[in-house]
Amino acid sequence: MRALVMTAPGGAANSLVQEVGEPEPGPGQVTVDVAYAGLNFVDVMTRRGDAAYATDWPHRPGKEVSGTVRALGEGVTGLAVGDRVVAAPVGAGLAEAVVAEAALTVPLPDAVGLREAAAVPLGLATALLLLTDAGHFTAGDTVLVHSAGGGIGHALAQLVPLLGGGRLIGTVGRPDKASAVLASGYRHAFARDEDDEKLAEAVRTATGGRGVDLVLDPLGTETLDLDLAVAAPGARIVLFGNAGGGAVADLPPLARLMAGNLSVTGFSHRGLAATAPDRLARAVRRVVGLLADGGLELPVTELPGLAAVPAAHDAMEERRATGKYVVRVGG
C-alpha cells in the first residue's frame, strides 16, 4: 500500500510516497481503510527533527484519519468491519490503511462526512479539550489564541460560540493572515512582528485594559512573558506545543503567579491519548455529535493525494497556511 514516509529529518525532499507493508491489528486494535487524513503542525515538528517528536527514522506521520473499518483485533467490541469511523492512531495515518486503538476509534453517523471527520481527533477535539479540560473556559471569557490562523485557531473560533460565547483575540505570524482570522470569528487579530511591549499594549487596549481570561499558546515559552503581561487576575495560560522548535525556558516564579492568581498549565494530545484515552474519545464523540446536529462546521482545504502533503507541510512551516488541511487518500 502507499504511505507518506519521512526518510530523515529535513524538508519536503525527505518526505516520499512509498510502498509499505499492509498493517494488521493487534489485540484491542482495528485497521482502518483511510478515506481522509488530517495534517497537523506536529508533522512539521517531527520532520524538522525536533526533540521528543521523532526518535528514529524513517518515520510514518499522521495522527487523525477517517474511513472504514477493515479488520478487528482480538477483543474488540462495539465496532464492525465496514463501519464508518474516525480514529486517532499513534502515527502512520498518512497512508491507505492504518492501525488504531479501538478505544480511540469512534463510529460516525451518516450525517457526518468523512472529509470533515478527518479534522476531528487532533483538530476539533484538541480545541475542545483546550477550552474545557485545560482552560476551564467560562461563557463570556476573553481568550487570546496564538497562531490563530492555523487549524486549531479556526476550530476554537467555531467552538467558543457553542460553549456560551466569548471574545476571541488572535495573534498571527504573518500580517497577511490577519484578515482570515477575523473572518473566522476573532474580534481582533495582531501580527507578532511587533515587539512584545507594543503587542501587549494592543491586546490590553482591545480588552479595555482588563486583560484576557484565558491564553492558548502553542509556541512553547516564546511568548510566555507576553501572556503574563496581558493576563487578567485569575487568568489561565495553557501551553500546548513548541511550534517554533526553540529551547523551552523556565516557568515564571511562583510569587509572580500568586500575585496575579494566575495558573500556567500544559496540554499534550499525545500524552492524553497514551494515559487517558477515554477523555480524548469523549471529546471526539462530543464533536462528532455537534457536527451531526449541524451546530458545528469547520471549513477544510482538501489536498488531492498524498503527493501533495509535503508542499502543504512546507506552507505550514513557513506560516503561509491558513485553516485546516485534510488529504484525500482512499475512495
Q: Are 66 and 35 in contact (CB under 8 A)?
A: yes
Q: Are 154 and 298 in contact (CB under 8 A)?
A: yes
**CA–CA distance, 260 with 258 (Å, rounded to integer):** 5
Q: For residue 28, give the 3-state DSSP assignment.
A: coil
φ, ψ of residue 308 to 5 degrees: the values are: -85, -10
> Rounded to two decimals, what is the model's pTM?
0.93
C-alpha cell at 33: 481503510
> What domains can be seen in the chain, in order of their start residue?
2-119+298-328 (3.90.180.10), 123-269 (3.40.50.720)
Question: Tens-digit pLDDT profile for the chain (331 aa)?
Answer: 999 999 999 889 999 999 999 999 999 999 999 999 999 999 999 999 887 777 789 999 999 999 999 999 999 999 999 999 999 999 999 999 999 999 999 999 999 999 999 999 999 999 999 999 999 999 999 999 999 999 999 999 999 999 999 999 999 998 999 999 999 999 999 999 768 899 999 999 999 999 999 999 999 999 999 999 999 999 999 999 888 777 888 999 999 999 999 999 999 999 999 999 999 999 999 999 999 998 898 889 999 999 999 999 999 999 898 889 999 999 6
Q: What share of the chain is helix, strand, coil (3-state, %, to 5)?
A: 35, 25, 40
